[in-house]
Amino acid sequence: MQLVQLFIQIEAAPDTVEGLGHLNCIQFKDLNAHQSAFQRSFVNQVKRCDEMERKLRFFDTQLKKEQEIILEERGLTWDNVDQESQKIDELERSYDENFKTVTFDDLERTFSELESDLISMNTNQEALDRNYNELIELKHVLTKDNAFFSEVSDRIEELDGGLLGQNQLELSPAVQTHASRAVKLGFVTGVLARSKFITFERVLWRATRGNLFMKHSDIDEAIRDPHTGESVQKTVFIIYFQGERAQQKIKKICESFGANLYSCPDCQRTKGIPQ
């Protein structure tokens, strides 16, 4: 090796250093080792390099995530992707041959555009996945609630029939109508992780002092949570209550436990709740 000192105009320094770097036969010596990184004249260029390195790490993370999804969909493992790896190596070699024609500014601009596109696509994909998972949960809620409302409707008809049959001769029509409409119930329905349900039920019972009626049913399959994206065993629940204060308490408790609440259509709502 030989020690060489070059005197270059500052305007030509970036292109010269870049050309020397592509030769792969030169090592630069730091003559300002006593200075901190923020005291150097090229600190802005270093920041740009750090930013580009961050974008490259982001690209690498996204590629690995996509590869995992593809392998999972195809039922493959990393041991079965030798041919794909060879194709990638060929693409990398062809890219290295053409790399000398790419400038730093071109790479920075390209990386910025790619990062913006990836962030936009990830945002849209997350929104689509969230909507899809919410629809899956809503499907289970409607299916389970249909059975809940049917049970409650049959029970109400049975009780009303028994009471009115016993007192039909004693009560006037106005009193019978008032009695049938005396209780107006509201309800809250949603989905909660099965592991939290026991604690959730106890907290609700203590907060409302037992002034509620709850029905629940486990979902057989594991479904993805719309907010976390993880596959979780969940339970559909419906809570009947009376009064505005009870409704506020129940909704706050549901929110604290991370339950996903859903509204029920009027066609199902009228099946089991007296209006």
Q: Which of 19-23, 37-41, 63-67, 232-236 has the lowest mean pLDDT?
A: 37-41
One domain for residues 61 and 92:
yes
Instruction: Give the C-alpha separation, 161 to 155, whole Å.
Output: 10
Identify whether 230 is part of a domain. yes
Question: What residue has token string 């270093």?
Answer: 46
Last residue of one domain, picked from the residues 101, 127, 153: 127
Q: Which domain holds residue 103?
A: 39-127
Confidence at 132, pLDDT banded by 50, 70, 90: confident
Task: Output b/e per residue, 191-226; b: 16+ Cβ within 10 A.
Answer: bbbeebbeebbeebeeebeeebebbbeebeeebbbb
Identify whether 29 is part of a domain. no
Tell me the one-letter amino acid at 150: S
Helices H / strands E in the chain, number of each: 8, 6
Confidence at 119, pLDDT banded by 50, 70, 90: very high
Q: Which of 123-132, 162-171, 217-226, 228-237 has the lowest mean pLDDT?
A: 162-171
Residue count of the chain, please give it: 275
Confidence at 53, pLDDT banded by 50, 70, 90: very high
One domain for residues 101 and 162:
no
Average pLDDT over residues 91-108: 67
Answer whether 0.85 is exceeded by the pTM. Answer: no
CATH number of the domain that residue 247 is part of: 3.30.70.2750
Structure tokens at 196: 């939290």
Identify whether 142 is part of a domain. yes
Whether residue 54 has pLDDT greater than 90:
yes
Average pLDDT over residues 58-63: 89
Confidence at 30, pLDDT banded by 50, 70, 90: confident
Number of domains within the chain = 2
Average pLDDT over residues 39-53: 84
Average pLDDT over residues 153-160: 57
Average pLDDT over residues 93-118: 77
Average per-residue pLDDT for the chain: 76
What pLDDT is stored for residue 152 in this prediction? 61
